[in-house]
Amino acid sequence: MTDQIPVIYVISDALGETAEFVSRAAAAQFNGIKTKIRRVPYVLDETHIDDILEEAVEEQAILVYTLVLTNLRLYIERRAKEKNLITIDILSPLISALADKTGLDPKNIPNVTHRLDEQYFRKVEAVEFAVKYDDGKDPRGLLYADVVLIGVSRTSKTPLSMYLAHKGIKAANIPLVPEVTPPRELYEVPRNKVFGLILGPEKLNQIRSERLKTLGLGASADYANLNRIMEELDYAKQIMKKIGCVIIDTTNKAVEETASVILQKVTINGELRKDG
């Protein structure tokens, strides 16, 4: 048994997640042995391979790769053999088997999986954005949002932001309170990106009263007081009219319905986004 820690170079024309996962699964079969795994993503030319091999020789690393371009696969195999390095080709055997089985030629397009998953990553980014800029946490985010939602408390700003995020829309939201001046950034956002949410006072009173009950507080608190609610709604409408944004009455609308209205109106990168 050698005292040298095995080193695995994960080489990929994309992120290298697949090869790294396989490498870690294999290493896990050897209890008590530490394994050093180095991921090298976006390898797209022979020069890059040469640089990697020079470093790999020093550590006598095992080369685990997922390269779909034939010329790069042949090159890494030839150069690694010259340097007495072990190589493991993760993708080629399965690609060849599928080609034989289907009679079709593979695309051989690097990073094709992540290109197909671009929509997924956009959703993840949008969800992270919605969390970061929820409830006015950082008004600077308003300038980078696809959609800005404004309204008084309990008008479904946060649930709507998250719903839009799952459609790939970066949404930020700002609560409107009479005692708090809206951030200046709100007035710098193009008005076609801003949507004001309002709710009937009686409905809002009911929602807030239930909220207070869940918190173990009395329903008579100012938060659920009908006069206070009407004062907040009047203030919110003034701000919305000043901005000139679209105002949506969500009294009898589910979050999905409100989102559909927004998705039909919002323009991103010059293209009209449709719901679904």
Establish whether 151 is an annotated binding residue: yes
What was the pLDDT predicted at 114?
56
pTM here is: 0.58
Establish whether 79 is an annotated binding residue: no
What was the pLDDT predicted at 71?
92
Establish whether 158 is an annotated binding residue: yes
Establish whether 154 is an annotated binding residue: yes
Give the contacts of 137 (CB within 8 A, at least 6 positions apart): none
Establish whether 156 is an annotated binding residue: yes
Q: Would you say residue 32 has pLDDT above 90? A: no
Q: Would you say residue 182 has pLDDT above 70? A: yes
- Burial environment of residue 270 by CB neighbours within 10 A (0 to 12, 13 to 18, 19 or more): exposed
pLDDT digits (tens, 9 = 90+) for 67-125: 988 999 999 999 999 999 999 999 899 989 999 999 998 887 776 665 556 777 788 88
Confidence category of residue 217, pLDDT binned at 50, 70, 90: confident
CB 134 within 8 Å of CB 173: yes
Establish whether 152 is an annotated binding residue: yes
What domains are there in the chain, each with its CATH number?
Answer: 7-116 (3.40.50), 118-272 (3.40.50)
Within a 13 Å sphere around the CA of 216, how many CA atoms are in the beta-carbon half?
A: 0
Region 38-59 average pLDDT: 92
Q: Would you say residue 200 has pLDDT above 80? A: yes
